[in-house]
Structure 1
């Protein structure tokens, strides 16, 4: 089993070169007041617990002591660590809810490249929240 990179409740690996990802992670860091999530920017050369291209193709997370998950399951794991989002993360434990969220995530992945390009044009570089 791949262990989390810190003592945090959840470890999240993300693409720091993606303007959409940077914005979302900055927002989630503001919500994560308990610092329950270790955010790992793979674009900065952080060690990848799995193949780098696989890691960058989908969102990945790992709850402490649990398996690495991707897609909607990874978002749900992260949401459970943030009190205000926890109810949504708990609902996603239901297979039908997770199925719907995963289908929505897959649809998003199809348009992600165009959204990234648009975000780069409209906003330029987005600084991360430390």
Structure 2
């Protein structure tokens, strides 16, 4: 297994843009990127609640430990050599605010994508 498995929403244009950046930078195959919307997702990952994963980014470390939200983002970018871009989001005095902003973003990511001119794959029928 890779060092980190990331369960992402492949129907979210902004999410998919970030995943594609990570994919291009992942020269050591440190990441295993899994779209929660894949037809066989529930069969391959029965221990992942798709609704919960849709509400908040989920990650699974090689040892089976689960991490969530910005912890996944920061660890993924660290593993592809760009962790310095996001490290400040885990500083103790910034972390609570960053997590609050992330939860807002996660809840409204499809609408936010539309603001930036990126139509969602699922258009108006997203969760």
> TM-score band (shorter)?
0.7 to 0.9
Counterpart selection for 1:16 from 10, 14, 17: 10
Aligned residue in 1 for 2:125: none
Cα distance, 1:17–1:110 mapped onto 2, change above 3 Å: closer
CA distance in structure 1 between the aligned counterparts of 2:51 and 2:67, rounded to whole angstroms: 15
Paired position in structure 2 for 1:29 = 23
SS of the equivalent of 1:65 reads: coil
Q: Is the 8 A contact 2:56 2:103 kept in 1?
A: no
Counterpart-to-counterpart distance in 1, 2:97 and 2:61: 21
Instruction: With the length of structure 1 as denominator, give the TM-score of the two structures.
Output: 0.73
Structure 2: gaps of 5 or more residues:
123-127
Aligned residues: 116
Name the TM-score, length of structure 2 as normaliser: 0.74
Q: What's the C-alpha RMSD, in Å, of the aligned pairs?
A: 2.5
Residue matched to 1:112: 109
Separation (CA, whole Å) in 1 of partners of 2:7 and 2:18: 13
The answer for the alignment partner of 1:59 in structure 2 is 57
Per-residue deviation, residues 15-48 of structure 1 (Å, max 9, x unmatched): 1122222211111111111111000112113233
Q: Given that residues 14 and 59 in structure 1 are in contact (C-alpha distance below 8 angstroms), is that contact kept between their aligned partners in structure 2?
A: yes
Cα distance, 1:77–1:19 mapped onto 2, change above 3 Å:
same
Match of residue 97 from structure 2 = 100
